[in-house]
């Protein structure tokens, strides 16, 4: 007797226009990576390898936090938000502040925001969360 596997993934929603991904939080993956580093299973060069463009964005428009870097413990982490979606460059748009993020959120097009934490001292970086923004429908009057 042959067994079949039923799968349920994003492809299951093809043709469903109202499907939209929700917030994805990466705290567990972050904690695992930090633990592996502190256990000596990962070297510093493996976890402190941020791309130069991320470091430039972190220094230029990143939002300072009160959280110390979990790797070097010398500097506070900086948050950098990238937005991807319609009519944006393939490499996305770095959002400079909350007002700019709110402008994207008010748009009718759907976008995805990626929040990355980075350390400007040792180049640690990690994707913190992914969230949908935009897709706002105009208020309609019934008459």
| C-alpha–C-alpha distance, residues 2 and 32, integer Å | 39
Of residues 9 and 46, the one with the higher pLDDT is 46
Question: Domain residue spans in the chain?
Answer: 21-134
Phi and psi torsions of 93, nearest 5°:
-130, 130
| pLDDT category of residue 21 using cuts at 50, 70 and 90 | low
The pLDDT tens digits of the residues spanning 35-45 come to 999 999 999 99
pLDDT in tens, 49-73: 999 999 999 999 999 999 999 999 9
The backbone torsions φ and ψ at residue 68, rounded to the nearest 5 degrees and listed phi first, read -70, 150
Interval 68-108: pLDDT, tens: 999 999 999 999 999 999 999 998 999 999 899 999 999 99
């Amino acid at each position: 007797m042959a067994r079949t596997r039923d799968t349920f993934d994003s492809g299951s929603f093809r043709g469903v226009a109202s499907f939209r991904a929700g917030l994805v939080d990466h705290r567990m993956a972050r904690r695992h990576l930090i633990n592996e580093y502190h256990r000596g299973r990962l070297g510093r060069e493996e976890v402190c390898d941020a791309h130069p463009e991320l470091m430039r964005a972190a220094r230029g428009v990143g939002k300072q936090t009160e959280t110390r870097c979990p790797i070097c413990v010398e500097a506070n982490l900086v948050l950098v938000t990238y937005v991807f979606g319609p009519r944006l460059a393939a490499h996305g748009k770095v959002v400079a502040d909350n007002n700019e993020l709110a402008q994207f959120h008010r748009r009718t097009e759907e976008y995805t925001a990626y929040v990355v934490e980075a350390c400007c001292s040792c180049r640690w970086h990690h994707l913190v969360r992914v969230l949908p923004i935009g897709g706002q429908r105009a208020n309609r009057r019934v008459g």
